[in-house]
């Protein structure tokens, strides 16, 4: 468990950089979900996702320590965040991405000044390559999720939800490597342990579900889920024990349910949310959590999707 002192410290560190993202509501969503729902708009966050929170916390500390180059492994959103904050800090950034990374995310990384290196299809391939580049170049590796500073930064999302949604009873959060979910769990369970934290993961990328059932970290192979930001091959060494001990429930959702959630958010709320960011709403609408009549928050974790890709999702 990352302590509230570190999460509050992260909030101070990144306060001048990140947005305090809005909370959105939808009467139609309330009706369909059977809950009073509040959508935490991290898709409206700087660089288009929550990742800027953890990345800023880590990179700014590295810069103070004398770093002139940072290296990250990312399917896109983390890489964008690292490239952005590195550029703002006047240092170099190299981002190792999968061979099938989203073109819109690659373009954004490069627009922020990051150098892109392609490697493999899974996080198990990207991360060693990023570590190698960091070692050879003397750079600082910025993990996508498995790092106390990253988790603390993501935990500021949970802090904001509690202050923005008084009386919140449950929070749905996407699960990939576990950085966001672990951060939210750490903040929420220390501030109000009665709030349920429910993780949502794609059925096609269910490494956390399998790991929780096995009681240990389980690796899976490459996946083609449309939720490209959640295509991790194994839960993090740091994030998994946190989720194992403190996550109240983990549910999985199908590709069809994810696409339907993206479509619903666009039609009902006029919000463009990428599939990885919409899995929380997919989980909420699936009814698999078994909760009803609660004041509920759902984290829309990102909005980085190309017009062409989003059009295909809407057709699904």
Torsion angle of the four alpha carbons 9, 303, 130, 116, in this order, in degrees rounded to the nearest 10:
-130
Q: How far apart are CA 148 and CA 10, in angstroms?
A: 10
Classify residue 145 as exposed, middle or buried by CB count within 10 Å of its CB (0-12, 13-18, 19+). buried
Query: Distances in Å between the alpha carbon of 206 and those of 39, 184, 231, 241, 268?
Result: 24, 19, 9, 16, 28
Catalytic residue among 40, 46, 51, 105: 51
193 token code pair: 């342990």
Catalytic residue among 123, 211, 233, 301: 301
Query: Cβ contacts of residue 157 below 8 Å, gap of 6+?
Result: 40, 42, 50, 53, 180, 183, 184, 187, 299
Q: Among 223, 117, 246, which residue's Cα sits nearest to residue 176?
A: 223
210 token code pair: 């399998």
Q: How far apart are CA 151 and CA 175, in angstroms?
A: 13
Residue 174 is classified by DSSP as: E
Pairing relationship of beta strands 295-300 and 140-141 according to DSSP bridges: unpaired
Our answer to whether residue 75 is catalytic in this structure is: no
Classify residue 23 as exposed, middle or buried by CB count within 10 Å of its CB (0-12, 13-18, 19+). middle
Our answer to whether residue 306 is catalytic in this structure is: no
Q: Among 139, 136, 132, which residue's Cα sits nearest to residue 114?
A: 139
Q: How far apart are CA 205 and CA 232, in angstroms?
A: 7
Q: What are phi and psi of 120, to 5 degrees?
A: 60, -160
Active-site residue set: 51, 301
């Amino acid at each position: 468990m990352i302590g509230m002192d570190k999460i509050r410290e992260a909030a101070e560190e990144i306060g001048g950089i990140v947005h305090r993202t809005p909370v959105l509501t939808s009467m139609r969503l309330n009706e369909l979900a059977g809950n009073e729902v509040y959508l935490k708009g991290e898709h409206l966050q700087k660089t288009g996702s929550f990742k800027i929170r953890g990345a800023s916390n880590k990179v700014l500390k590295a810069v103070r320590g004398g770093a002139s180059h940072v290296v990250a492994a990312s399917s896109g959103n983390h890489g964008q965040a690292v490239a952005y904050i590195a550029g703002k800090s006047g240092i170099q950034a190299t981002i190792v991405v999968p061979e099938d990374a989203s073109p819109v995310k690659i373009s954004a990384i490069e627009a922020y000044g990051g150098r892109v290196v392609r490697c493999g299809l899974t996080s198990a391939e990207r991360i060693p390559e990023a570590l190698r580049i960091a070692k050879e170049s003397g750079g600082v590796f910025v993990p996508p999720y498995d790092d106390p500073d990253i988790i603390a930064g993501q935990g500021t999302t949970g802090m904001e939800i509690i202050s923005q949604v008084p009386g919140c009873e449950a929070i749905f959060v996407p699960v990939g490597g576990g950085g966001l979910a672990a951060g939210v769990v750490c903040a929420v369970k220390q501030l109000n342990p009665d709030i349920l934290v429910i993780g949502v993961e794609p059925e096609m990328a269910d490494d956390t579900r399998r790991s929780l059932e096995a009681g240990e970290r389980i690796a899976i192979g490459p996946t083609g889920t449309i939720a490209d930001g959640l295509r991790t091959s194994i839960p993090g060494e740091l994030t998994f024990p946190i989720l194992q001990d403190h996550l109240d429930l983990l549910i999985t959702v199908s590709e069809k349910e994810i696409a339907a959630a993206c479509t619903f958010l666009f039609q009902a709320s006029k919000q463009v949310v990428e599939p990885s960011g919409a899995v929380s709403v997919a989980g909420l609408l699936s009814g698999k959590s078994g909760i009803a009549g609660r004041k509920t928050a759902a984290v829309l974790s990102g909005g980085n999707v190309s017009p062409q890709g989003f059009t295909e999702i809407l057709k699904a």
